[in-house]
Amino acid sequence: MTELHESARTGPGDAHFAVFTDRADAAAVARSLARTGSRTLAHASGRPWLVGHWHDEEVVTAEAGGAALAVIGCCPIDAGELRRRAARLRDLSELDTLARSLPGSFHLVGALGGRIRVQGTASGLRLVFHAEIDGVRVAATRADTLAAALDLDPDVEEVAVRLLWPAPYPLFETSLWRAVTAVPPQDALIVAADGRTVRHTRWWTPPEPDQPLTRAAPMIREALQEAVGARTRQGGVVSCDLSGGLDSTSVCFLADRSPARVVAGTWPGRDPADTDLEWARKAVSHLPDVEHVVWDADASPLVYEDLLTIDDLLDEPTIGVMDRSRVLHHLPGLAARGSRLHLTGIGGDHVAWCSEAYYHRMLRTRPLFAVRQLRGFRALWQWPLDGTVRALADSRPYGRWLAEAAGHLRDPLPPSVATGLGWGMAPRLFDWVTPQAEGMARRALHAAAATVSPLHPDRGMHSDLEQIRSCTRVIRQWDRMAAGVGLPMASPFLDDRVIEACLAVRPGERVTPWAYKPVLSAAMRGVVPEACLRRADKATASMDASNGLREHRADLLALWENSRLEALGLVDGAALRRLARRPASPGLSDAILYSTIAAEVWLRGLARRRARVPRP
Q: How far apart are CA 590 and CA 350, in angstroms?
A: 20
Assign 355 a pLDDT band (cuts: 50, 70, 90).
Answer: very high
| Cβ–Cβ < 8 Å for 597, 321 | yes
Question: Mean of the pLDDT values across residues 529-543?
Answer: 77
β-partners of residue 117 are 110, 190
Q: Phi then psi for 23, rounded to 5 degrees?
A: -140, 155
Q: Phi then psi for 158, rounded to 5 degrees?
A: -65, -35
**Weakest-pLDDT range from 71-80, 131-140, 161-170, 599-608:** 599-608
Percent of the chain with pLDDT over 90: 83
Indicate the DSSP class of residue 296.
Answer: -
- pLDDT score of 11: 56
Q: How far apart are CA 226 and CA 103, in angstroms?
A: 7
Helices H / strands E in the chain, number of each: 27, 17
Q: How far apart are CA 31 and CA 499, in angstroms?
A: 38
Report whether pLDDT(371) > 80.
yes
Whole-number Cα distances in Å, 609 to 110, 180, 562 = 33, 20, 17
Side-chain-side CA neighbours of 311 within 13 Å: the count stands at: 7
Q: How far apart are CA 585 and CA 88, in angstroms?
A: 63
What would you report as the CA-atom Rg of the chain, rounded to the nearest whole angstrom? 24
Question: Mean of the pLDDT values across residues 67-94?
Answer: 97
What CATH number does the domain located at 16-152+177-202 have?
3.60.20.10
| Cβ–Cβ < 8 Å for 458, 365 | no
pTM (2 d.p.): 0.95
Closest to 109 in 3D by CA, of 24, 18, 2, 32: 18
Q: How far apart are CA 201 and CA 180, in angstroms?
A: 18
Residues 6+ apart with CB under 8 A from 23: 47, 114, 136, 195
- pLDDT score of 32: 87
- pLDDT score of 8: 35
Indicate the DSSP class of residue 525.
Answer: B
Segments making up each domain of the chain, as ranges: 16-152+177-202, 213-352+471-542, 358-462, 553-608
Assign 62 a pLDDT band (cuts: 50, 70, 90).
Answer: very high
Dihedral, 361, 367, 373, 379 alpha carbons, nearest 10 = 90
Assign 585 a pLDDT band (cuts: 50, 70, 90).
Answer: confident
Question: Mean of the pLDDT values across residues 471-492?
Answer: 96
Assign 10 a pLDDT band (cuts: 50, 70, 90).
Answer: very low
Report whether pLDDT(566) > 50.
yes
Q: In what order do the strands lie in the sheet with 67-74?
A: 59-64, 67-74, 105-112, 115-119, 187-191, 198-202
* H or E element in which residue 71 lies: strand 67-74
DSSP 331-385: HHHHHHTTEEEEE--TTHHHHSS--TTHHHHHHHHSHHHHHHHHHHHHHHHT--H
Q: What angle do CA 417, 422, 425 make, to 5 degrees?
A: 75
Read off the pLDDT of residues 155-176 as tens digits, 9 standing for 90 and up: 999 999 999 999 999 999 999 9
Report whether pLDDT(385) > 60.
yes
| Cβ–Cβ < 8 Å for 53, 38 | yes
Question: Mean of the pLDDT values across residues 443-453?
Answer: 98
- Interhelix angle 496-503/213-232, rounded to 10 degrees, is 170
β-partners of residue 74 are 105
CATH C-level class of 213-352+471-542: alpha beta
Q: How far apart are CA 443 and CA 603, in angstroms?
A: 22
* H or E element in which residue 149 lies: helix 143-150
Indicate the DSSP class of residue 586.
Answer: T
3-class secondary structure, 187:
strand
Indicate the DSSP class of residue 124.
Answer: S
Q: How far apart are CA 67 and CA 90, in angstroms?
A: 8
Report whether pLDDT(183) > 80.
yes
Report whether pLDDT(3) > 70.
no
Read off the pLDDT of residues 222-270 as tens digits, 9 standing for 90 and up: 999 999 999 999 999 999 999 999 999 999 999 999 999 999 999 887 7
Question: Mean of the pLDDT values across residues 487-494?
Answer: 98
Report whether pLDDT(614) > 70.
no
Report whether pLDDT(613) > 60.
no
- pLDDT score of 324: 93
Neighbours of 318 (CB within 10 A): 24
Longest dimension (CA), the chain: 68
Q: In what order do the strands lie in the sheet with 136-140?
A: 39-42, 48-53, 16-19, 136-140, 128-133, 181-183
Q: How far apart are CA 149 and CA 44, in angstroms?
A: 25
Report whether pLDDT(4) > 50.
no
**Residue 550: exposure state from Cβ atoms within 10 A (0-12, 13-18, ≥19):** exposed
Q: Is the dihedral of CA 145, 147, 149, 153 positive or negative?
A: negative
Question: Mean of the pLDDT values across residues 313-322?
Answer: 93
β-pairing, 181-183 vs 136-140, is unpaired
β-partners of residue 17 are 52
- pLDDT score of 13: 85
- Kindly report the average pLDDT of the chain as a whole number: 93
Neighbours of 382 (CB within 10 A): 9
Assign 9 a pLDDT band (cuts: 50, 70, 90).
Answer: very low
Closest to 442 in 3D by CA, of 455, 423, 432, 429: 429
Side-chain-side CA neighbours of 303 within 13 Å: the count stands at: 24
Residues 6+ apart with CB under 8 A from 582: none
Q: Is 113 left (phi over 0), alpha (psi -120 to 50) or beta?
A: left
End-to-end CA distance of the chain: 47
- pLDDT score of 301: 86
- Interhelix angle 213-232/246-256, rounded to 10 degrees, is 60
